[in-house]
Amino acid sequence: MRKHIVAGNWKMNNSIQEGLELVKAIKANYAGDNQLIIGAPFLHLSMVNETLEGSSIAVAAQNCHHEESGAFTGEISTSMLASANIPYVIIGHSERREYNHETNAQLAAKVDLALKDKLIPIFCCGESLEIREKEQHFNWITAQLKESVFHLTAENFAKIVIAYEPIWAIGTGVTASVEQAQEIHAHIRKEIARQYDTAIADGISILYGGSCKPDNAQELFANADVDGGLIGGASLKADEFIAIANSF
Ligand code: 13P
């Protein structure tokens, strides 16, 4: 059975004190056995990791650099994350693709470095409204996968997590319909099976992200190919995040 994963992405929110309160509340109130992940800002990662000690909840960085080390002021490398015992890293979020102009080729380099340093990449893909309206979303997602993760060996590919995040549903309150989410998730799994094999495709957790809330998580997660969520706004409130985590 595939792992059910509910990952929060705090983005650029929460002071250290607010983050600490939030992590404590999540840790104290979650009793389920789905894999919970908290995607915190770099500054918060060690605090979150220490606070989560003794629980099965894990921490994720929201980004890493595509070079191993060197003169890249303000950046964080995968080996730094590994040295702080951070298990997961979100790679290719649409906000980084848009505001930081990250390319599919750079994302491929990040994925390689993350795996080399034994971090688990949560690789994000997803289309804009414009691409969807032109009905090019299937090809768009396929190209994102081909250019950033399909170069991996089967052994390495089997370690990653994929998140499908339609850009038009992020932070907008608009959610992909149950049918739209299932259709793209099934497409992603089919492409993985074509590139690797069905055993690998069947083992990969594919998360949905985009205005996932307590009141729609259950119907989204009920889809055969939706294995959890990458949650933005609703991950900033312990009760909402836990309600989503309990939606399987
Ligand atoms: P929202 O849940 O706020 O729409 O954000 C989704 C997202 O970008 C998670 O990475």
93 included as an active-site residue: yes
Single pTM value for the model = 0.97
Q: What is the pLDDT of residue 64?
A: 98
pLDDT digit string, tens, across residues 42-69: 999 999 999 999 999 999 999 999 999 9
State the pLDDT at residue 151.
98
Helices 238-245 and 214-221 meet at what angle, rounded to 10? 20
Q: For residue 20, give the amino acid letter.
A: L
Considering the candidates 93, 95, 185, 240, report the single residue annotated as catalytic: 93
Q: How far apart are CA 134 and CA 215, in angstroms?
A: 30
Q: What is the pLDDT of residues 143-202, one digit of tens each?
A: 999 999 999 999 999 999 999 999 999 888 888 899 999 999 999 999 999 999 999 999
CA distance 141 to 127: 7
Q: Of 54, 49, 126, nearest to 88 (Cα)?
A: 49
Closest C-alpha to 161, from 121, 127, 125: 121
Q: What is the pLDDT of residue 175?
A: 83
C-alpha of residue 26 to centroid of ligand 1, in Å: 18
pLDDT of residue 104 exceeding 90: yes
Residue with structure tokens 């499908």?
Answer: 164
**pLDDT classification of 32: cutoffs 50, 70, 90:** very high
Q: Which of 6, 11, 168 to mutate to test the pocket of ligand 1 (most atoms within 8 A of CB)?
A: 11
* pLDDT of res. 170: 86
> What's the 28 CA to ligand 1 centre distance in angstroms?
24
